[in-house]
Chain A
Amino acid sequence: AQRVTQPEKLLSVFKGAPVELKCNYSYSGSPELFWYVQYSRQRLQLLLRHISRESIKGFTADLNKGETSFHLKKPFAQEEDSAMYYCAPPYFKLIFGTGTRLQVFP
């Protein structure tokens, strides 16, 4: 099955510290990956997609085909970034990563 792996269940940082949420994928072909975010008491929503190469809320994600990774990065974490983050491929049988909870302490 096409799968992504998020090795960290919990990532805790202090405000202003850099953040990197890891995502590795295990399928061949040209991947097109997404990052989704779920803030407390809100619905799961798209954060950013690989193909658009955009920066949303200061987050970026670069596809590294050699390492088969799509890590989510932000140079300076904010408290409002605290949330669950999921990495996912967009294919028909989507298999989300298990998610990483990011906690940003003041």
Chain B
Amino acid sequence: DVKVTQSSRYLVKRTGEKVFLECVQDMDHENMFWYRQDPGLGLRLIYFSYDVKMKEKGDIPEGYSVSREKKERFSLILESASTNQTSMYLCASSVVSYEQYFGPGTRLTVT
């Protein structure tokens, strides 16, 4: 079974803090993705990576950055957290043009 794990299930941070969300997959997938999931808005792609050190912006990259130093790990960074970044964050991985495998999600609250 493909395993995609995320470092935290729940996270509470203060406005202005730098936040790191970590994602690890164990199936040697080339592609990794970060989404945020909000009621009524569905899944919105923040960033994706198709190889180590390679990244591309998704639909809503503003306020976020990413890092992929190793194939199995993809980090999402909120440089200065704001309340409008309170959301559920989902990480996923895939082989090119195949189904995505999702992590359990991190519910981030920014106060």
Count residues of chain B with CB under 8 A from any CB of chain A: 24
B36-44, B66-74, B76-84: which lies at the A interface? B36-44
State the A residues within 8 Å of B (CB): 6, 9, 32, 34, 36, 43-46, 49, 86, 88, 90-99
Secondary structure at chain A's binding surface: helix, strand, loop or mixed? loop
Cβ of B50 within 8 Å of any chain A Cβ, yes or no, is yes
Among B40, B45, B56, B99, contact of A95 (Cβ-Cβ < 8 Å): B45
Report which B residues bind A (CB closer than 8 A): 31, 33, 35, 40-43, 45, 48, 50, 56, 58-59, 90, 92, 96-100, 102-105
Q: How far is the CB of A82 from chain B (nearest CB, A)?
A: 16
Report, nearest first, the 3 A-B pairs whose CB atoms are least far apart.
Answer: A98-B42, A44-B102, A96-B43
Whether A93 and B56, one on each chain, are in contact in the complex, defined by CB atoms closer than 8 angstroms, is yes
Q: Which A residues are CB-close (under 8 A) to B58? A: 93
Complex CA distance for A58 and B41, rounded to whole angstroms: 27
Whole-angstrom distance between the Cβ of A12 and the nearest chain B Cβ: 16
A43-B103 CB under 8 A given contacts A9-B40, A94-B45, A98-B40: yes
Whether the pair B42, A99 counts as a contact (CB closer than 8 A) is: yes
Whole-angstrom distance between the alpha carbons of A90 and B64 in the complex? 24
The answer for the CA separation of A9 and B100 in the assembled complex, in Å, is 22
A91 to B42, CA, bound (A): 18
Residues of A contacting B48 with CB < 8 Å? 92-93
Instruction: Decide: B42 and A90 in contact? CB cutoff 8 A.
Output: no
User: Are B42 and A97 touching (Cβ within 8 A)?
Assistant: yes
Q: Give 5 CB contacts A-B under 8 Å.
A: A6-B42, A86-B42, A90-B98, A93-B45, A98-B40
B106 to chain A, nearest CB (A): 12
From known contacts A44-B102, A86-B42, A90-B99, infer whether A95 and B50 are also in contact, taking CB-CB under 8 Å.
Answer: no
Q: Which chain A residues lie closer than 8 Å to B100 at the CB level?
A: 36, 46, 88, 94
Q: Is the pair A43, B104 in contact by a Cβ cutoff of 8 Å?
A: yes
